[in-house]
Amino acid sequence: MIHLLLFLSIFAPLTAPPPRYASIQPGIAKYYRPGLFARVAAVRGIPLRSDVDGYASTPDPALIGKVIHASIAGGPIESFQVLDSSAPRDRSRHLRERLVIEVDYLTARRHHFISTGHAPAVVYIPAIAMQQPESGAKP
């Protein structure tokens, strides 16, 4: 019995925990004009969170109301509340362009890509975000 407990205590930690991210998507970031995310949030009835680094739109409408993470222009990984998604007529073009995130104007300014209009980005979709219900989003 002691050998079994010792064996389990050694090998039990080797079982992998659930992945932190359900999806990692490299591509490009663009940005919304100043104030647009506040209007989108108001129309959708989504309260703006103050515990995130910025606001975002993604090609995936299932992420509206959730928090995702992204590294923009080689910067640190930051958190973003998703408030919008690509319009159906634009989605295929966005995917062809490898657009993975559109961020708020202040984030674009912080990452110095206002003049170019785009920057390299990596979006990290937390596994937990795929299990969370939307936070008050209207369809």
SS3 101: strand
| Tokens 């050998």 found at | 3
* Structural domains of the chain ordered from first start: 17-130 (2.40.40.10)
| Tokens 């409408």 found at | 61
Q: Determine contact, residues 104/90, Cβ cutoff 8 Å.
A: no
- Helix, strand, coil shares of the chain, percent, nearest 5, are 30, 30, 35
Give burial (CB, 10 Å; 0-12/13-18/19+) of 26.
exposed
Residues in the chain: 139
* Confidence (pLDDT) at 128: 77
User: Measuring CA to CA, which residue among 48, 25, 29, 19 is closest to residue 126?
Assistant: 19
* Confidence (pLDDT) at 127: 86
- Model confidence pLDDT, tens digit, residues 20-50: 888 899 999 999 999 999 999 999 999 999 9
